[in-house]
Structure 1
Amino acid sequence: MSTSKKYTRFLNVLYATICALTIQSFAQAASGVQAFEVIAPSGYKSVILGSMHIPDTRLRQPVPSVLDGYTQFIVEFDTNKASLQKSRPLNETVIDGGLESLFRGTPVRAPWALDLNNRQISMLKKNVMCQSGHVIKDAETFFNVILMSRSAEYAAHFAMYPCSDGRKSRDEILMNAAIERRVKIVSLDNPDEVDLLRQQIPESFYTSVVKRLLSKEHEYDLRKVVDALNAGDMESLYRFGVGDMAKPEIAAFAKLMIEQRNLLWIPKLIEVLNEGKAFVLVGGAHLSGKTGILNLLRNQGFVIHPVTLPSI
């Protein structure tokens, strides 16, 4: 075989090898979970992972063993403890005449609920029954109370969290893994601080988000969020996860419940990340942007780069 033919064959083999390795590398990345390794100024390492809080079979989930070797599991709020939401007397939460109509058997609806169509009401009821039926004796009455509430906040909560049908969210998977491994669970949120922020959210945000969450377009929104999380695209995740920032109520929510909370979290995050071996799990929308926790940590001297975690 001539030298030129040998060289050509060598190039073909080399090209084929590179292609095979590239495809293999891509396949491994595509099957993994995109996260971020954080290296503190002290040199200690930790991991930050974005979440979407609700179950979705299209979202690649990390294997529980990703928590092996970590000493702290950092979350927004420990769901195994009392709720951050401060309760108020029932007569203060419903519209005038609401309770009386309930006792008469002809429950009325608040103005925001009157704007929902039959399909949206049916979807909301399904979520309420699914989530509360096992803990509330009369879930039907509870549903009617939600519809007569002055604020659409409770409805927004139930619209956000659909029936899981046995599926587990990323939060649940890793929380269970932390408990099984007896990893210390640390909450970033302070109940009083969060309550003060929540009180400033305009009611228009809840009324608009309820309609969107119960609309056919929400499935498109959800698909975009899942795709962004799977790709590790935090900028797109923020854009699709938060919504149209041109709307004043959406911008106000993002300012209060994402940006302000990020700033409140940073001191505690700096403390735990400086100790190393911390696994941080927060909503993906908290990660990107100038006031995202990744950028805020970089400003404090932390080195951050993407990593791929093994998936289920």
Structure 2
Amino acid sequence: MTRYLKSLLTLFYIFGSASSYAEPVLWLAQKGQQQLYLFGSVHLAKPDIYPLPSRYLDLFDASVRLVIETDVRNFSAEDQKLMLSLVRADADQDLQALLGDARFEQLQQIAQQLGLRGQLQAYQPWYLAMLISMQQIKSLGYRASEGLDLHFIHRASDQQKRIVSLETPAEQIHTLSSLESIELELLTQTIDDFDKVPELFGKLIQHWQGGNHQALYQLLIDDPMYQQEQPEVINKLLFERNRNWMDTLSTLQGRSFIVVGALHLYGEQGLLTLLKEQDFSISEVTP
């Protein structure tokens, strides 16, 4: 796996891994009358990840609320303005000088292939790397409209179930902008590894459907960004958010169904560990 491209994919499009005969993993964190069902999300997917296990859907239907990272339907004009202010390129940005002639030529070819050529000078390098990755994955047939977040948002809306967001769109935008500190390496790796993404992404989706959370977490700990090369970035993107979310999760009463990016669940600073530290019992739900 590559250094920063792998982090970009696994942190923002989030998957798991395992055998082709298993199911995605659903966890139960319970303390007294509090029941938190935690499902690691695939944010972009194809229709073939459905149907989900009927037991999972039954547990969702019996929950009093859906909890998600943020409700993408609430992206306001103010959020759009904030996003543009953070991603817009500086007036004197020169990508060719930053990348060198050879990589800049590669970037132009990639942009042409993805229909982004006219946008190269419009955005800062960190956002351009994200845009390229997102457009490439979309070109492979994966859509946010097929992701688990929207799937459960629509199901909750149909049932008039309460939807709780763990963070606002503005908070999520500011989190993503922390990639600015590694933006040149991020864009360079995105260019260099462009041809590897289809196979990588396909394998990751297959792995998520398998439900092997140990292999999922291994994707994170194998990455140099996790291994203290860029600790402030991984902390901002993942662990700080986990700690912030606990303020809400630990106080939810009754039965809640929680859908967040799968990498938020695992490891010493993952949600499952943080909940266990607050005396929740943790168990895997049988499909």
Q: TM-score, normalised by structure 1?
A: 0.67
Call closer, same or farther: CA 1:169–1:148 in 2, change over 3 Å. same
- Aligned pair partner of 1:170 in 148, 170, 174: 148
- Aligned pair partner of 1:42 in 14, 32, 35: 32
Q: What pairs up with 1:170-189 in 2 under 5 angstroms? A: 170-189=148-167
Secondary structure of the 1:77 match is: coil
The answer to whether structure 1 residue 270 and structure 2 residue 261 are counterparts is no
- Aligned pair partner of 1:240 in 214, 219, 230: 219
Call closer, same or farther: CA 1:235–1:260 in 2, change over 3 Å. farther
| Offset of residue 295 of structure 1 | 0.8
| Offset of residue 258 of structure 1 | 0.8
State whether residues 93 and 151 of structure 1, in contact with CA within 8 Å, keep that contact through their aligned partners in structure 2: no
Which residue number in structure 2 is paired with residue 70 of structure 1?
A: 63
What letter is aligned with 2:111?
I
Call closer, same or farther: CA 1:110–1:149 in 2, change over 3 Å. farther
Q: What pairs up with 1:86-235 in 2 under 5 angstroms? A: 86-88=82-84, 93-96=88-91, 111=98, 114=104, 116-117=106-107, 119-125=109-115, 144-160=118-134, 161-163=137-139, 164=141, 168-191=146-169, 193-201=171-179, 202=181, 203-204=183-184, 206-208=186-188, 210-211=190-191, 215-235=194-214
Relative contact order higher in (CA < 8 Å, ≥ 6 apart): 2
Structure 2 distance, partners of 1:148, 1:265, is: 33
Which residue number in structure 1 is paired with residue 44 of structure 2?
A: 54
Structure 2 distance, partners of 1:181, 1:210, is: 41
Structure 2 distance, partners of 1:46, 1:191, is: 23
What are the superposed Cα offsets for residues 42-82 of structure 1, whole Å, 9 maximum, x if unpaired? Answer: 23323110012111356455268443121111111101101
State whether residues 286 and 293 of structure 1, in contact with CA within 8 Å, keep that contact through their aligned partners in structure 2: yes
Call closer, same or farther: CA 1:255–1:302 in 2, change over 3 Å. same
| Offset of residue 109 of structure 1 | 6.7
Call closer, same or farther: CA 1:77–1:249 in 2, change over 3 Å. farther
- Aligned pair partner of 1:286 in 241, 256, 264: 264
State whether residues 110 and 148 of structure 1, in contact with CA within 8 Å, keep that contact through their aligned partners in structure 2: no
What letter is aligned with 1:211?
I
State whether residues 75 and 169 of structure 2, in contact with CA within 8 Å, keep that contact through their aligned partners in structure 1: no
State whether residues 238 and 288 of structure 1, in contact with CA within 8 Å, keep that contact through their aligned partners in structure 2: yes
Secondary structure of the 2:36 match is: strand
Call closer, same or farther: CA 1:152–1:196 in 2, change over 3 Å. closer
What letter is aligned with 2:29?
V
Secondary structure of the 1:33 match is: coil
Structure 2 distance, partners of 1:268, 1:216, is: 41
What letter is aligned with 1:33?
P
| Offset of residue 173 of structure 1 | 1.7
Secondary structure of the 2:138 match is: coil
Call closer, same or farther: CA 1:173–1:89 in 2, change over 3 Å. closer
| Offset of residue 301 of structure 1 | 0.8
Structure 1 distance, partners of 2:228, 2:130, is: 18
Secondary structure of the 2:282 match is: strand
Call closer, same or farther: CA 1:78–1:261 in 2, change over 3 Å. same
Call closer, same or farther: CA 1:93–1:59 in 2, change over 3 Å. same
Call closer, same or farther: CA 1:110–1:298 in 2, change over 3 Å. farther
- Aligned pair partner of 1:261 in 231, 241, 259: 241
Structure 1 distance, partners of 2:97, 2:65, is: 44
Secondary structure of the 2:125 match is: coil
* Corresponding pairs, count: 252
Question: Which residues of structure 2 form unaligned runs of 5+?
Answer: 1-19
**Bigger fraction of residues in helix:** 2
